[in-house]
Structure formats: C-alpha cells, structure tokens
Chain A
Amino acid sequence: MLRKKKNKHPLPEVELNITSLMDILTTLLFFILMVMTFSNLSILKGTSQKSGTEMDDKKKLFALKIEIENDKKAEIFLGPLTELKMVNERDLLRFLNNQYQGSRDSGFSKVVYGKDTKQLFDRIQDAVKGIKHAFPHENKVVIAYTDKVEYQTVIYSIQALKQLAEAKEAMELTTLVGTKEKTRVLFPEIILAEK
C-alpha cells in the first residue's frame, strides 16, 4: 500500500505586518497630491539694454549682435577683435574669414538664411559656435528684432543662443587658462533690443 509521504519539515508560517507600510504610502500619496501642481510652464530669462556710463574708448569690449529680420533671415555682427582676450586667435580668424565678411579691426558680419525658423536658428547656432570656442568666457549677446517678428520667433532665438539643444552634441571648449570643458551653454545672457 502506498503511503503518502508527509513533509517532515514543513516551512514555518510567517506573518508580515504591513500596516505601517500602508500607512506611510497612503500618507505620502495624499501629501503629494495636495501640494503638487501639474504644470508644463517654464520661463526663459532675458534682459534689456541698460543705459550706463559712457564707455572708455580705450577699453575694448566683446560685441556680438544678431539681428532677426524675420523667421527666415538674420544677420550676425561681431565687433572688432583688437585687444580682446581670446583662445586660439588663428583658428578664430580662419573660421571667420571662411564664413563671415569683414576684418579683425572693423569686425565681421554674416547674413544667415533658413527655409524655416528651425533651420535659421540651427544655422545661427553653427555660425556662433566658432565664436564661442574663441571666447568661452563671454556670455552676452544682443538680439535685435524688427517689428514684424513674432513672439514665438523671439523665444526660439533666445533658446537657440542660450544653449545647444539636448539632442545636439556638447562642445568641447578650452578656457583662457587652458582647461578643457564640455558644455552646451552658448551665451546665457540675452539682451533684447529692437532693430
């Protein structure tokens, strides 16, 4: 006759008290529900041109200005480079002579066209990246707009000149002291003006 084998060493019954865990979870859940806000709103910072004291002519300042004509055309102006501290001037001049018009003493300019807003600002970003490589310590750019430019284009321009999009590769910059850093930041201080 077959006998059922009895398990001689049954596992002990264990009881798990999860009352406190449930307590914490529900409390935390209600707390978060009460204080949170679902918001997809954010901000972009900008500033306006401030009047100040007269400039001392002997002091040369970095001047980068972008004039947005409409959502398909813009012009970039870079002021004279004399007496400015920069990284690898030779590379910068090579870049500017290839892409811009002008000279070291009088400054450079370039007209940028795009078939739509996105392409326009992609091209503007490519055009200023070379300048950022030479001036990693400079953070200001002036953006001037004509009256017909839409506010959405204004926002795109601020975004495009502040930093590179997450989808793009970060730039490797060499600072004035020789250290290298990878960054997406271009010119975070945006000064708005009218053309």
Chain B
Amino acid sequence: MALKKKKSKKMTSTGTDVNITSLMDVLTVLLFFLIKSATVSSLELTPPKGMKLPTAEMKEEPKEAIKIALSKDMLVVDEKTMVKLDAGRFPASYLMEDGRTIKPLKEFLVQEYQKKKDFYKDVADENVDLLPPPTLLIQADHKLPFGTLKHLLHTAAISGFADYQFVVETPGE
C-alpha cells in the first residue's frame, strides 16, 4: 500500500500589511514645519528671570558679543551679577565722579577691549585703529527708564563699545 504522504496542513500565515501612509504624512508635515520655523543659531539668549524684554517687529540676527542684562534690581554681565541697583538707580558708590560712569563695568569693558585689540594686532597684524567697533548685547526690562539705561550706554561708549545690539522679542508669525 502506497504510503500516503501526509499532507501537512500548512499554516498559511496571513500576510500583515502595515499601512504607513499616515506616518509618512506626519513626518513630512513635521519636517516642513520645523524647517520653516526653526532657527539655527549658536548664540544663546536667555533673559534673566523676571525680566520682560521689549517687543519689536524688526528681525535681525544677533552677533556674538558681551552680554549685559539690566533690570531695576541688578546689572548682570556675562551671567555674573556686577552691581545691585537700589530702586532702579545705581548706588553712588558704584559711580565715578562724573556721576554717569559705572566703575566696575568700565574696568571690565576696558579690559575686554584691550584683549580684543591685542588679539587683533597679534592675529591680523593690523593697525588697531582699523579694528571694527566691538558691540554689546543688551537685555533690559521694557519698563526700565532711560535715566538708568543711559549710565550703561555712557560707560560702554567711553570704554570703546559704542555699538549696541538691543535684544527684543518679536511677535510670533
């Protein structure tokens, strides 16, 4: 008797089709959204706590510079508190005889300016008078009176930093 071959019941696996249309959809939409809205910048600008920056509609890219934050409570330079203000005014002990120049800020900025000049002369071997004017990145509270801000601007100008970049918030698109 011929052996009957056992026909094994093949377990026919049902093919599982994965529909990735929606995944592709989400990925491409997310990608285009990120490309449009993201900015790639190495400069980190985080305003100090409690400070509300002024708003402006113009957009310009910030350049790397010394960061100065001025609120009615304190003056912060490169994330270090330099002067504590008294009710929105600079204490007289921190001002020079002219009543306008902030002593510790001037010393710091003069040092930084000298460093830039020396670096420029060493690296570029150029006349230091051709050095492009260095700038400051200024973050200040939107309600700060100009009477307080002017001390900062004056001190920066006489220390060689006559150009300013005022950090502002731009309304969302």
Q: Which of A150-179 contact B (CB under 8 A)?
A: 150-152, 154-156, 158-159, 162-163, 165-166
Residues in B neighbouring A11, C-beta threshold 8 A = none
Q: Which residue of B lies closest to A49 (CB)?
A: B157
Distance in Å: Cβ of A118 to nearest Cβ of chain B: 12
Query: What would 17 more interface pairs be, CB under 8 Å, given A37-B40, A42-B59, A150-B142?
Result: A22-B24, A32-B34, A37-B38, A37-B41, A38-B37, A41-B167, A42-B56, A44-B168, A45-B60, A45-B135, A48-B154, A147-B146, A148-B146, A151-B149, A152-B143, A155-B166, A194-B150
Q: Mark B30-42, 1 if CB is under 8 A from A, else 0.
A: 1100110111110
Q: Which residue of B lies closest to A195 (CB)?
A: B146
Residues in A neighbouring B168, C-beta threshold 8 A = 41-44, 155
Provide the main secondary structure of the chain B interface: mixed
Query: How far, in whole Å, are A46 and B163 apart by their CA atoms in the complex?
Result: 6
Provide the main secondary structure of the chain A interface: mixed
Which of A18, A29, A43, A44 has the most chain B CB atoms inside 10 A of its CB?
A43
Q: Which residue of B lies closest to A46 (CB)?
A: B164
Flag if B146 contacts A154 (CB, 8 Å): yes
For chain A, the count of residues having a C-beta within 8 Å of the partner chain is: 43
Flag if A155 contacts B54 (CB, 8 Å): yes
Which of B58, B62, B154 has the most chain A CB atoms inside 10 A of its CB?
B58
